[in-house]
Structure 1
Amino acid sequence: MILLLREITLALILLICRAQVAHAGVCPSNPDTIKPCTCTPTTIACETTDKFELDVVLGLIAKGQDPQGLAFDTFILNASEISSLDRGVFHGLTFNNLKFIDCFRLSCVSSEAFAGLQPNVTSIYASDTHFDWFGRRDCSIFEAIRYLKNLKSLKIVRSKITEIPDNAFTGKLGQLSDLSTIDFSGGQGGVITQVGEKAFNDLPNVQLIDLSRHRISSIKSHGFEITLPIKNSLLINLEHNALKNNSFGNSCLKTNVKTELRLGENINLHCLNEEVFEPFLVNRRNKTEDNIIDLTITPIDCSKCNLWLLENEVNLNLRDKLKNILTSDGIDFWKKTKDDCSVNSVNVL
């Protein structure tokens, strides 16, 4: 019995040790050979404002290593002169986390830039990194992401991406079934103007889609439609954009899970189109599963285009579903009467 316990203990110790070294890459013996990059058993970081050959440096780190020696936890690129990530740039090196910081010129990401990383990458973080592909599909960061089947968190903030393309997150190697966080918030200068068709359709575990502080004026048909059963509730943040009355395509908000939609600070959005928003606000079997829209600092017209809200106030329980809804003159919308709102809107778009 004692011998058996000793064997079990040794086996557990071995498993713990293996887990601890799972991402213990092997670095070159002479660190000067890989400048301006640095290497530790967990992290490779390339941080410089000068030009350098990223492909060459990563190739030197990978050269002659066995598979275990290629496994690191984090890759950090903070390099203002790098303009592209080409096919095979990582030379078999693997990472859990990819971070891109202040890569102001990085616009072209090959669809095969992350080749070999597919089973490993769970997180991508980028800030103040260009990533706009100027219409070249072979340079689109989205084409590369679609291969990362185990990705859980994607945060690309303050980029120069101008659109979320059609089918943006339809996986190439199966569903991106673990992806729960998508954060493209724009800070003070976001430039996204459009959300494409079925951009988020194939994501069964998504919980956050943040596209706040951009210039979004168009959401194409089925833009946020999610047909797969989602396990958790969903938050869609579209605050501080350029949304207008006619910005919403057919079935663009057709989610099949409890959803909070934030539309605050869209100052040109005056009418909630009944064809778009009534299906979103329909009663669920359980009130706790009802969808919610937050309209903070979004002036809603008291006019015919919103009359349907007053007509369905009770049967759709809209007072609980529409938060912070004020009219263009700053009055609580629910204090208006049907007669008050039986006039044509002066804001037609």
Structure 2
Amino acid sequence: MGVSPVNATCDLFSALSTLTNVNQINIVNHRIPIIPNNAFNDKMGVLENLRTIDLHGSTGSNGTIIAVGTNAFSTLKNLNKLDLSNQIIVAINDSAFQFPRANWDRITINLEHNRLNGSRFGSHVFPTNKVTTLMLAGNMNLTYLPDGAFYDFFEERGHDRNTCNMSGIQMEIDRLNLWLVDNKVTMKLDQKLLEAMGKDGTALLKHTHKQMDVAPPGANAVYNHTIILHDFE
């Protein structure tokens, strides 16, 4: 009987979790299908030296990673760079990029040129205890940012500000993005939500509450749901 891709992937990350002295993981031309829940464990000790994980795909090629599981990187308290660009990620689960034991530091998370959309995020996805540069350019279907995934990311926390770059994406002018416009002053989003343009060609944050208070397309649809990755644990 062959080994399933999911089990093989879990075995790969279990093996990587034993490399307690490594400072960089760079895997090219891989066929990794998912980043599983709790991908990096600390059973052999914390990977305190690990600063960079680079699993990006090649520009113009077909990536293979489709999802990022819950607490996938939570043990990596000193991680400074994570590159998952040019993949085919459609789903990001709860707390995927949270670091509960993180040192106060900076991290760049590159998710550019994936297949993300606003309905496929879990809750509390991004770091709140690392100053984060989040790169989302090229996710052309990411036309709104769900508050369950992004609200705490944008909150003021008394340290250097998290930023999120949305370059090239045309965002919806409706209630799905209303929370961003309503909180643009208190959250200082003009310094955090970068290159966010509306579908009408005007910067998203230039819109008023009234302009945004419009029912989204398919208003009766369910927009926010958590992607459960039980099979990837």
Settle same-fold status: TM greater than 0.5: yes
Corresponding position of 2:89: 216
- Superposed counterparts of 1:298-337, under 5 Å: 298-337=169-208
In 2, the alpha carbon distance for the partners of 1:307 and 1:135 equals 38
- Determine if contact 1:240/1:264 at 8 Å carries over to the other structure: yes
Q: CA deviation at 1:137?
A: 4.3
In 2, the alpha carbon distance for the partners of 1:138 and 1:254 equals 24
Corresponding position of 2:76: 203
In 2, the alpha carbon distance for the partners of 1:215 and 1:319 equals 29
Q: CA deviation at 1:185?
A: 0.4
2:62 aligned with 1:176:
no
Q: CA deviation at 1:231?
A: 4.5
- Determine if contact 1:307/1:338 at 8 Å carries over to the other structure: yes
Corresponding position of 2:134: 261
- Superposed counterparts of 1:155-194, under 5 Å: 155-187=26-58, 188-194=61-67
Q: CA deviation at 1:139?
A: 7.4
Corresponding position of 2:154: 281
In 1, the alpha carbon distance for the partners of 2:33 and 2:6 equals 10
Q: CA deviation at 1:146?
A: 1.2
In 1, the alpha carbon distance for the partners of 2:105 and 2:88 equals 28
Aligned residues, how many? 217
TM-score by length of 1: 0.59
- Superposed counterparts of 1:13-28, under 5 Å: none
Corresponding position of 2:17: 146
In 1, the alpha carbon distance for the partners of 2:51 and 2:192 equals 24
In 1, the alpha carbon distance for the partners of 2:21 and 2:80 equals 16
2:119 aligned with 1:246:
yes
| CA shift in 2, pair 1:310/1:136, >3 Å | closer
TM-score by length of 2: 0.87
Q: CA deviation at 1:329?
A: 3.0
2:134 maps to a residue whose letter is L
In 2, the alpha carbon distance for the partners of 1:220 and 1:338 equals 30
In 2, the alpha carbon distance for the partners of 1:138 and 1:186 equals 17
Please report the RMSD computed on the Cα atoms of aligned residues, expressed in angstroms: 1.9
- Determine if contact 2:170/2:199 at 8 Å carries over to the other structure: yes
Deviation track 1:153-209 (CA, whole Å, cap 9, x = no partner) reads 001123111101111111331111111000110112211000011100001110001
Corresponding position of 1:293: 164
In 2, the alpha carbon distance for the partners of 1:198 and 1:166 equals 6
Specify the structure having the higher radius of gyration (Cα). Answer: 1
Partner secondary structure for residue 259 of structure 1: strand
In 2, the alpha carbon distance for the partners of 1:151 and 1:290 equals 29
- Determine if contact 1:137/1:143 at 8 Å carries over to the other structure: no
1:299 maps to a residue whose letter is Q
In 1, the alpha carbon distance for the partners of 2:71 and 2:205 equals 34
- Determine if contact 1:206/1:230 at 8 Å carries over to the other structure: no
In 1, the alpha carbon distance for the partners of 2:141 and 2:48 equals 36
Which sections of structure 2, spanning at least 5 residues, go unmatched? 224-233
Partner secondary structure for residue 140 of structure 1: helix
Q: CA deviation at 1:332?
A: 1.3
